[in-house]
Amino acid sequence: MKTEHTNIAYISTGSNMGEKLENCQKALAALNKTDSVHIESISRFYLTEPMEYSDQPWFVNAAAKIRTSLAPDDLLALLKAFEVEYGRVDSGVRFGPRPLDFDIIFYNDMIIESLQLIVPHPRMHNREFVLRPVSDLAPELIHPVFNKSIIRLLDELSTQNQQCIPMEEMVN
């Protein structure tokens, strides 16, 4: 029996080790095969410049709109389990290289602050590599803390040193 997926969440994914695009695509496909998550839509994939810790390869990033039966903490645990399955280890370097990264950006319109999880993601409004993919999916979605749409947050973002290139532009 398929579980009812009543919660809507937006998640981001990224990779900058190995087959970056393939890592993200395979992890999203595997996530969609779980009983507790249904992916409704996936943004374009972007090649993005690293932030915070710049001495590393560029990332591939995307976002997905999902429906889930999982509570926020359980969704986080599932996403972190996928990261480990795809080879993520704690390198000791915050914001350092990783084969797979998942973050919960929004969960319904909830504001969550616990030791394990902060939603909306606390740095998303400063990161083009999160805002641009989410804007592909829901530009008018309102951030419940700032009470601004994703497209407005993106417009207000200073994109200095934040290159975020749609991957299809690189192929053409």
- Is residue 126 within 8 Å of residue 157, measured between CB atoms? yes
Q: What positions carry a catalytic annotation? A: 88, 98, 101, 103
Compute the distance between CA of residue 62 and CA of residue 29 in angstroms, rounded to an integer: 13
Contact 61, 48 (CB under 8 A): yes
Residues 124, 138: Cα–Cα separation, whole Å: 14
User: What pTM was computed for the model?
Assistant: 0.90
Note the pLDDT tens digit of each residue in 132-144: 999 999 999 999 9
For Cα atoms 151, 58, 149, give the angle at the middle one, nearest 5 degrees: 10
* 159, pLDDT greater than 80: no
Q: For each of the domains in the chain, give its residue range(s) and CATH number, in order of start.
A: 7-171 (3.30.70.560)
Tell me how far CA of residue 93 lies from CA of 25, 96, 116, in angstroms: 25, 5, 19
